[in-house]
Amino acid sequence: MSQYQRVKSIIHSLTAAEAKNFEKQLGKRSSNLRLLYKRIRADQSVTKIAIMEGGSDVKNRMKWNELIARLEWTLLEYLSNWDVIQLSGYHKRAKTYFVQVKSLLHYDMLQYRGLRFDSVEKLTSIQKRLESIESFELLYFILRRKHRVVAQYGTKAEIRKGEKAIHELELVTNLVAQCEILRNRFHDASLKSISNMKLISEIESVIDRILELKNMNRYLTLKRYLEFFRGTYSFYRHDFTSAMISFYNTYRINKEREELYLASFNATSLANMALCLVSLGRVESAKIVINKFLDDLRLPQDQAIGYYLLAKLNYQYEQGGIGNFVRNKLVELLEHRYINEALRMKANILLCMDGMKFGLDNYPLVNKVLAYNYSKLKLDDEIAIRILQIQLYLQYYPNSPKLDNAIESLRKKVARSGDQTFNGYRWRTISSLLSLLSKRGYDYKVLLKSRLNEFQALSNNKESKWIGASLEFLPFEHWFKCMAEGKPYTHPPYLKEKKVVDYTKAGARVSLR
């Protein structure tokens, strides 16, 4: 990004009040600087050439570069002003962090002037504020600086105490970094290269390392990660009751201290709680959690996730499908420019499947979905979407030569995946049945009758049962049965069963209040 593009982005990130105050501050600056700011603020799309040719005194590149550099510096100085930080919309943790960074700058300026009074006291004050927000990397830097002063003027006991604190914080900092990396792997394509057992092993290793720390309970960040990984571990082992409790604990811990609250953990916890409840057959409870999610998180991406989850539940468990209100809200949110592409893909496929269920003429969206490149998705998601695309081909383009190609491509993908997927047995069975369907001229009745045991296994075997939380939007075996009978898709009776879950066995009482 060029310096000019950076300056434009900074200017248009200012609130109306910030922009007004900044313009007042520019009153004492050069007229060119003021005019440049006002021109960019008025038109986000204005180009460098348009400004230089629009009556500005800035006619040569050297003068332009000097002016744009001055404007960037002036903007950054304004944004780092103490009063601006306090009056901004920053989260409490961010405000504390920025103020302590400025305090460290003041400390260093005095040090370079030879004013070394109250060195340890000043660093200790910064240390305590950073400890309150668990800013580990900057805190580690402060402890090293403080230890350097103590090593010159402190006692042996003070030096040993400082070394011990540095060692402990180094362990914590490295562990938190490992937790962040592992958590991010659940949200990107790198999961594709990790086998089921390896991933579970990595989660176990992180849990053990957190528990090994003697002072683990001092750090809310580590307690939050501990519960998150316990929930993830239980979820992938299909122990949804324990997973539900752990994700609830993550949600609760995240809200314990305002300065350590992270919206991303709130979103992840509530979304995962909903998925656990769906997997336990508690659909209405899941909807309550999703509505809580929508109330708590207002960003377009979060709202899109919430309405996608509601649409998915309505599609899977309500005979009337997604419903007009939820469908319209989801379609509206998907138009937002900052919506994640993977979410947009999943939501559009869901909308297609809902249209297929009611025999809607939905060809434009179907064609878009059939052209999706899903290679960057997690492996289980990719396989589920391949199956959904095949179902769309069977509904909308049953005579297309691409149908056989899609089935063969699925077979090869599942065969190569080995133990890398969490639903391996189910994917292998479905892939095998679709291959047989292709070879037998798409005679659903004959295949259903000859392979009845395999279809029943998909419904009854614990390791291959359909999981509502997956991207397989409807049970394949029941969809196949409807196709064999030549009937519109209807939900299998077991989706309407009311299930009772005893959370007390997992040792906790769950309430979102």
Assess whether 399 and 484 both reside in one domain. Answer: yes
Q: Are 284 and 498 in contact (CB under 8 A)?
A: no
In a domain, 344, yes or no: no
Considering the chain, what percentage of its residues have pLDDT values greater than 90?
50
Same domain, 378 and 486: yes
The predicted model gives 416-442 an average pLDDT of 90
Domain boundary among 169, 184, 199: 184
- Phi, psi for 491 (deg, rounded to 5): -70, 140
The whole-number pLDDT of residue 189 equals 38
Is 103 domain-assigned?
yes
Residue 506 has pLDDT above 50, yes or no: no
Residue 56, pLDDT above cutoff 60: no
Calculate what percentage of the chain has a pLDDT beyond 70.
Answer: 90
Most confident stretch, 100-109, 489-498, 503-512: 100-109
Report yes or no on 265 lying in a domain.
no
Can you read off the two tokens belonging to residue 431?
């892939």
One domain, residues 30 and 51: yes
The domain boundary, picked from 60, 86, 112, lies at 86
Residue at token pair 């799309």: 45
pLDDT band for position 2 (50/70/90)?
Answer: confident
Give pLDDT tens digits for 146-160.
998 888 888 899 999
Q: Specify whether the backbone of 481 is left (phi greater than 0), alpha (psi in -120 to 50) or beta.
A: alpha
pLDDT at 29 over 80: no
Q: Report yes or no on 209 lying in a domain.
A: no
22 and 136 in a single domain? The answer is no
Domain boundary among 40, 68, 86: 86
**At residue 510, does pLDDT exceed 60?**
no
130 in the same domain as 28: no
Rounded to the nearest integer, the mean pLDDT of the chain is 86
Compute the distance between CA of residue 234 and CA of residue 319 in angstroms, rounded to an integer: 31
Q: Does residue 357 form part of some domain?
A: no
Residue pLDDT, tens place only, 231-254: 999 988 889 999 999 999 999 999
Would you say residue 199 lies in a domain?
no
In tens, the pLDDT along 352-404 reads 988 876 666 788 889 999 998 877 777 888 899 999 999 999 988 999 999 99
Two tokens, residue 7: 């300056």
pLDDT at 87: 84
Could you tell me how many helices (H) and strands (E) the chain has, helices first? Answer: 25, 0
Residue 20 has pLDDT above 50, yes or no: yes
Indicate whether 117 and 54 sit together in one domain.
Answer: no
pLDDT score of 223 more than 90: yes
Prediction pTM value = 0.80
DSSP-H helix ranges across 324-462: 324-334, 341-357, 363-370, 379-396, 401-417, 424-439, 444-450, 452-460
Please determine, for residue 190, whether its predicted confidence score (pLDDT) is greater than 70.
no
- Of residues 120 and 310, which shows the higher confidence score? 310
Do both 179 and 80 map to the same domain?
Answer: no
Confidence of residue 133 (pLDDT cuts 50, 70, 90): very high
Establish if 145 belongs to a structural domain. Answer: yes
C-beta of residue 268 within 8 angstroms of C-beta of residue 231: no
Residue with tokens 């998601």: 381
pLDDT score of 164: 94
**Contact assessment for residue 466 and residue 426, using Cβ atoms and an 8 Å cutoff:** yes
- Shared domain check, 100 and 11: no
Question: How would residue 507 be classed by pLDDT, with cut points 50, 70 and 90?
Answer: very low
Residue 126: give the domain boundaries: 90-184
Query: Same domain, yes or no, for 94 and 48?
Result: no
Count of domains observed in the chain: 3
* pLDDT at 504 > cutoff 50: no
CB 249 within 8 A of CB 220: no
Domain check: are 49 and 99 in the same one? no
Confidence at 508, pLDDT banded by 50, 70, 90: very low
Select from 63, 65, 78, 95 the least CA-distant residue to 10.
Answer: 78
Report whether pLDDT(495) > 80: no
Banded pLDDT at 63 (limits 50, 70, 90): confident
37 in the same domain as 104: no
Sequence-separated contacts (24+) of 295-303 with Cβ below 8 Å:
296/266, 296/270, 297/263, 297/266, 297/267, 297/270, 299/263, 300/333, 300/336, 300/338, 300/339, 301/336, 301/338, 301/339, 301/340, 301/343, 302/263, 302/267, 303/333
Residues 380 and 475 both lie in one domain: yes
Inside any domain, residue 153: yes
